[in-house]
Amino acid sequence: MTRRYWNLKVKFTSHCPSLSNPPAVIVMVGLPARGKTYIAKKLCRYLNWMGISTKVFNVGEYRRQTVGPSNKHDFFRSDNQEAQGIRLQCALKAMEDMEQWLKGDGEVGVFDATNTTRERREWILQYCTERCFKVFFIESMCSEPDVIQCNIKEVKLSSPDYTGADEDDAIRDFMLRIQHYEENYEPIDEERDKHLSFIKIMNVNSKFLVNKITGHLQSRVVYYLMNIHIMPRTIYLTRHGESELNIIGRIGGNGNLSEGGKRYGEALAEYLKEQNISDFKVWTSRLKRTIQSAAKIDAPIEQWKALDEIDAGVCDSMTYEEIQEKFPEEFALRDQDKFHYRYPMGESYEDLVARLEPVIMELERQRNVLVICHQGVMRCLLAYFMDKKAEELPYLKCPLHTVIKLKPIAYGCLVETVPLDIPAVDTHRPKPEVTEVGRESGDALATVPPYLDEKPISEEETVSADGDSSVFMETPPGSPE
């Protein structure tokens, strides 16, 4: 492969159509072990959760597919002409694949590579500009040796490049690889590159430089990147204790806890005390069942209206049988596309995700937090941390009286499910096989679990939100299936 790929002339694209949201390319920049792939993957997960179709194209993966793993540091020398040709070929293949993806259903492509020379970045800009792609650069810089060493040990040594290698030998080899890149590294310059849209992240979010941000997407990306951190932490998610409305299969409402729900609140407080968590706070919704569930916990408590359950609109406080009887078409439409379906005068899961974006932003800023929420809300939060697709989100299992511990790590999240020994109902309703409008009631209600027939609460109880129907369980709930 020759260097003709870098000699493309910029064709400023007067022929580009005027689009409110043109395809976008986010270009990572920086030396190895500076957290580029961590940022790329985390940003991709966030944008996909927000409904923006995003995909990472990692040039290192293309290299390993082309020449295999276990490339020693000599492969990355600037004077290794054969290896240079291979690496350029891999970069071009990644760019071409990204182009094809963006011409299909993709909205944002993340080009994940070092891109440490001005020549490489100019080629990327030319390539994307000619194809009417909007380009945004993210440069991650770090001069703290401890952070770099930690990144190498936690992430790089587990990569396919060093499978089976001695740890000390692998660290020496990788440090030499970094030196080869440093010899030709040209950081984005505030003056020379002032025509570019970019953000420079310095020393793990201790300082930022933002330049020429245009449009909603770039603004959203910058805001997100300025809120994330890498400090060790644990996020605890749990639903409220079992409510009196859960027992009788009515969705929504603002009911009180059942006796079992009250016992769960006590067990939850005891569990958290045993965890001995430092710098800990509790978030609840504004609904009674979450507030009551947190009453025994010895920690600062904040109430978030954004954490209220999905609004079921005209179907609030009904059983599924009542919805099928009064609104059979709505019931079928929801089963056909549960994520996008919006209750009449209510919300959809898609609406709920948008409502929860500030919660996610604040969770990214925090250390240790317990979120006591509702089934729909918990599904949305889990989908973010577990990188679940929109079609999976409304069917994630979030059993009552169960704590889910989330520990963010380099390229994902460790998940631990902790059921507490308090019997409860199961509120999960699987998607039925028959979803067509006009279906028989038996088909519509096939997956609705049984529940108690009488309401064990006072007549003056008020109602106002949403949840899912319940089935009584004789034994404590287990882990989500």
Return the active site residues: 112, 142, 240, 309
How many whole angstroms separate alpha carbon 35 and alpha carbon 140? Answer: 7
CB proximity list for 403: less than 8 A, separation 6 or greater: 236, 237, 238, 268, 271, 417, 418, 419, 420
How many whole angstroms separate alpha carbon 68 and alpha carbon 63? Answer: 7
Q: Are 318 and 451 in contact (CB under 8 A)?
A: no
Residue 245: DSSP 8-state: H
What values do phi and psi take at 125, rounded to 5? Answer: -65, -45
First to last CA, the chain: 50
Query: What sign results for the dihedral spanned by CA atoms 249, 373, 380, 344?
Result: positive
Q: Which helix (H) or strand (E) holds 264?
A: helix 259-275
Going from the C-alpha of 355 to that of each of 4, 22, 174, 283, 351, the distances in angstroms are 48, 25, 43, 16, 6
How many whole angstroms separate alpha carbon 71 and alpha carbon 82? Answer: 13
DSSP string over 173-191: HHHHHHHHHHTT-----TT
How many whole angstroms separate alpha carbon 270 and alpha carbon 280? Answer: 15
How many whole angstroms separate alpha carbon 221 and alpha carbon 199? Answer: 10
Going from the C-alpha of 227 to that of each of 41, 127, 325, 337, 420, the distances in angstroms are 15, 31, 47, 32, 33
Q: Which helix (H) or strand (E) holds 219?
A: helix 215-225
Look up tokens 């290192």; give the residue.
60
